[in-house]
Amino acid sequence: MTVSGVKFYHRTTREAADTILAHGFRDAEGNYLTANIYRGVWISEMPLDVHEGAKGDVLLIVEVAVDVTDMDQWEWVEEGKLYREWLVSAAWLNERGSVRELTGDEAEAAVAAGWETRRFRAFGDEEGSA
């Protein structure tokens, strides 16, 4: 089943955002706190920030025609993490996705919604109390 328009986020620098918007994503390479080298583009279900390893002041939204369950192979699962993220190939993302920069108000709203989702996942439907 293909779902049109699953939304993901990618935080980056102004310079990198301009390049992405003009020419598409490029694979980055790193070990990401492992013993192995990995290549790809980090995308997440909600906006991440420096506390989760995402650097930059520009927030991009990437809409991808995909069933998110088909992305399980690229998901980075960590115990206790309150968000989902994937390391996907730039070629795959450029072929299937469309990207745009969020305005300041859009980015603020997306960040706020992301924090609300984290709070809910951490505490359930209570107001953060145990």
Return per-residue pLDDT of the chain as tens, 130 residues. 344 579 999 999 999 999 999 999 999 998 887 888 889 999 999 999 887 878 899 999 999 988 888 889 999 998 888 899 999 999 999 999 999 999 999 999 999 899 899 888 889 865 544 4
CA distances from 77 to 73, 86, 93 (A): 10, 9, 20
Strands in 53-103 per DSSP E: 58-64, 85-88, 97-101
Structure tokens at 123: 């505490």
- pLDDT given at position 129: 45
Every domain of the chain and the residues it spans: 6-123
DSSP 3: -
- pLDDT given at position 3: 41
Cβ distance 41 to 27 under 8 Å?
yes
Whose tokens are 């990401």? That residue is 32
Stated pTM of the model: 0.85
Cβ distance 43 to 9 under 8 Å?
yes
Whose tokens are 């996705």? That residue is 97
